Amino acid sequence: MEWSTLLSNQRLHDHKYSEQMNRSIFTQDYDRIVFSEPFRRLANKTQVQPLYEHDHVHHRLIHSIEVGSVGRSLAMAIGQWLVEKQIIEEGVENSLANIVQAACAAHDIGNPPFGHSGENAIGAWFSEKFAEPKGMFADLEPALQSEFCAFEGNAQGFRIIARTEMYRNDGGMRLSKAVLGAFMKYPLSAATRVRTH
């Protein structure tokens, strides 16, 4: 692995950016995510859960904060191992932990309510619309139609953080390439996902 590439501190669509000594770009990425509207909206999306005897609802905002905490701890342990194996330089494990924490905080931003059931409902709605001969989506290419019919929350999340939030159509939140890479998880098209499952 080329760790210098994986841990890139270049910002998407912000070539003039230079890192600050007192606050790393990866910490800034985490802050941009946490203070964003899409992140706050996660409080309105319940996490898929069994029926409890109490009135505490575990929503996706709490879940995302918890995942960020666990991800940061795991990345620190892995980063320390990489330092011990002399694969990365000492101090870089902190960057790795901040990258993972930011990606974890954003990981549910594009997911609809009700988890995979919500994704399936959105996909079914689009499938019905594409079946209409003169519907509003009739002219859309079949390859693009499959992306809608197999709606995937991670792709929607990437669209939000890299395009629509903050600097609309100009890099979105303008996060570092390292955080965007960690967020992507599995960069596959709908057609590829169907064939691999």
Q: What is the pLDDT of residues 40-92, one digit of tens each?
A: 998 887 766 666 676 666 788 888 999 999 999 999 999 999 999 999 989 88
Phi, psi torsion values for 14, nearest 5 degrees: -140, 75
Share of the chain above pLDDT 90, in %: 32
| Alpha-carbon distances of 94 from 12, 82, 157, 158, rounded to whole Å | 21, 12, 25, 24
Measured between alpha carbons, how far is 77 from 72 in angstroms, rounded to an integer?
Answer: 9
The pLDDT, as a whole number, for residue 196 is 47
- Burial class (CB within 10 angstroms; exposed 0-12, middle 13-18, buried 19+) of 84: exposed
The mean pLDDT of 119-144, rounded to a whole number, is 83
In the predicted model, is pLDDT for residue 184 greater than 60? yes
Q: Is the pLDDT of residue 168 over 80?
A: yes
pLDDT tens profile 144-155: 888 888 888 888
Q: Identify any residues that bridge with 59 across adjacent strands, giving them in sequence order.
A: 46
User: Hey, which CATH number is domain 3-196, 3.20.20.70, 1.10.3720.10, 1.10.3210.10, 1.20.1050.10?
Assistant: 1.10.3210.10
Q: Find out whether 55 and 64 touch, Cβ atoms under 8 Å.
A: no
Q: How many whole angstroms separate alpha carbon 8 and alpha carbon 135?
A: 44
Record the tokens describing residue 41, joined without a space: 């909206």
CB atoms within 10 A of CB 83: 16
57: Cβ contacts below 8 Å, ≥ 6 apart: 46, 49
Distance CA 117, CA 114 (A): 6
Cβ(33)–Cβ(39) under 8 Å?
yes
For the chain, give the number of residues: 197
Confidence (pLDDT) at 74: 96
* Whole-number Å distance between alpha carbons of 129 and 57: 34
